[in-house]
């Protein structure tokens, strides 16, 4: 990948004439089944650009309460675009359609305008759970009937597609716009694609410049992105299988409950007071796990994590809990 980056043909992408970026944009538009696509520096910027294009100040955005755009983007939709979120509960990142329907605003001068639904697939905070194409199609139908747009935060969409055994375009078909991180599981160092209709992407390109995301000889990054989509998607199944083996090896550890992995994440539930010391103990043994909400630790499997690493993680986790008094209690 470093060699491909070094050899990349480049131009000035702010003028739309970087050949490697154009190639990557065409490839991802095709992969996602959309007319056009745009290279951005991050998943966060892709989501914020999409929200900006779909909304006007005062509009409302309906989404799951655990969504990245609601939790982990500094309230960007309010701070940058003057729109308000309607965060809704639902299992595994899935808001029941009836819940969305209850929150629709009547056309009345008292109310904000309901404008956009955001979906996230796979769903990070739920531990990499997936939304199937049937659910996404139901959301699409609801949105169309009520004049709403749909943005899909597909930072980890390739993981969802592989887990469900469908194409990325099947999962993106229900959305007006979709993001896809080239980093994360696909293994490029930097970059997120944002795809949609030609008109959507034309407007997104303007907003990207507004937010300072127009970059010059960015073909060096697009070259890595091309490899990420050419080779990264096909090997995600390995990560998912390894995540299942990892979960199985964690299950024998006293004092933890381990969720069934759906994609490449392993969520470990334990006593909330132990999460931080456990993460510190693991880090000392070269295992990086993220404290992930109350009483939860997140482990992510990716291309640089092998079977020996998983064994090391299981040993370190087991050491930590076995050495604690009362460790025979399960949470
Ligand atoms: C990582 C992630 C993002 C943000 O991507 P960055 O490149 O870190 O800004 C957005 N949404 C989801 C679901 C993610 O997992």
- Residue 193 CA to ligand 1 center (angstroms) comes to 12
Nearest CA to ligand 1 atom 12: 155
pLDDT band, residue 27 (cuts 50/70/90): very high
CA distance 173 to 224: 26
Domains of the chain, by residue range, sit at 2-233, 251-322
Residue where the block lists tokens 């308000």: 84
Give, in order, the Cα–Cα distances in Å from 280 to each of 147, 268, 293: 48, 15, 16
Residue 120, token pair as written in the block: 């996230």
CA distances from residue 175 to 71, 148, 151, 275, 318 in whole angstroms, order as listed = 21, 11, 6, 37, 43
Q: What is the pLDDT of residues 46-97, one digit of tens each?
A: 999 999 999 999 999 999 999 999 999 999 999 999 999 999 999 999 999 9
What pLDDT is attached to residue 325?
A: 67
**What pLDDT was estimated at residue 326?**
58
- Architecture of the structural domain at 251-322: Alpha-Beta Complex (3.90)
Q: Which residues contact 293 (CB under 8 A, 6 or more apart)?
A: 125
Host H or E run for residue 60: strand 60-64
Q: How far apart (Å, rounded) are the C-alpha atoms in residues 89 and 178?
A: 22
Whether the per-residue pLDDT at 198 is higher than 60: the answer is: yes
Per CATH, the number for 2-233 is: 3.40.640.10
Residue of 39, 42, 43 to mutate, ligand 1, most atoms within 8 A of C-beta: 43
CA of 44 to the centre of ligand 1 (A): 6
CA atoms 331, 322, 277, 265: torsion sign: negative
- Taking CA atoms only, the protein residue closest to ligand 1 atom 8 is 43
The model's confidence at residue 324, banded by pLDDT at 50, 70 and 90, is confident
Do 2-233 and 251-322 fold alike per CATH?
Answer: no
What separation in Å is there between the alpha carbon of 167 and the centre of ligand 1?
21
Pocket around ligand 1 at a 6 A CB cut-off: 42-44, 47, 68, 120, 124, 153, 155-156, 181, 184, 192
Mean pLDDT of the chain: 96
């Amino acid at each position: 990948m470093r060699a491909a980056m070094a050899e990349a043909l480049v131009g000035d992408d702010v003028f739309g004439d970087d050949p490697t970026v154009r190639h990557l944009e065409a490839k991802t538009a095709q992969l996602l089944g959309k007319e056009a696509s745009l290279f951005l520096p991050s998943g966060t910027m892709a989501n914020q650009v999409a929200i900006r294009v779909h909304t006007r100040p005062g509009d409302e955005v309906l989404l799951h309460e655990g969504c990245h755009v609601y939790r982990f983007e500094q309230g960007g939709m309010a701070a940058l675009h003057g729109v308000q979120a309607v965060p809704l509960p639902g299992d595994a990142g899935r808001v029941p359609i009836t819940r969305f329907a209850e929150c629709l605003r009547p056309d009345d001068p008292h109310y904000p305008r309901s404008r956009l639904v955001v979906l996230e697939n796979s769903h990070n905070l739920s531990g990499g759970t997936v939304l199937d194409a049937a659910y996404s199609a139901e959301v699409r139908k609801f949105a169309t009937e009520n004049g709403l747009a749909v943005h899909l935060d597909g930072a980890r969409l390739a993981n969802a597609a592989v887990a469900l055994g469908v194409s990325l375009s099947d999962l993106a078909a229900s959305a007006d716009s979709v993001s896809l991180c080239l980093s994360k599981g696909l293994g490029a160092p930097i970059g997120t694609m944002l795809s949609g209709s030609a008109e959507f992407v034309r407007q997104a390109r303007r907003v990207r410049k507004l937010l300072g995301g127009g970059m010059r000889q960015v073909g060096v990054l697009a070259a890595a992105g091309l490899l990420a989509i050419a080779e990264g998607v096909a090997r995600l199944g390995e990560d998912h299988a390894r995540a299942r083996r990892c979960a199985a090896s964690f299950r024998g550890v006293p004092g933890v409950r381990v969720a069934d992995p759906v994609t490449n994440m392993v969520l470990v539930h334990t006593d909330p007071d132990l999460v931080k010391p456990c993460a510190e103990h693991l880090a000392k043994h070269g295992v990086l796990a993220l404290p992930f909400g109350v009483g939860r630790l997140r482990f992510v499997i990716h291309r640089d994590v092998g079977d020996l690493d998983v064994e090391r993680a299981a040993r370190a986790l087991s050491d930590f809990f076995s050495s604690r008094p009362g460790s025979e209690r399960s949470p």
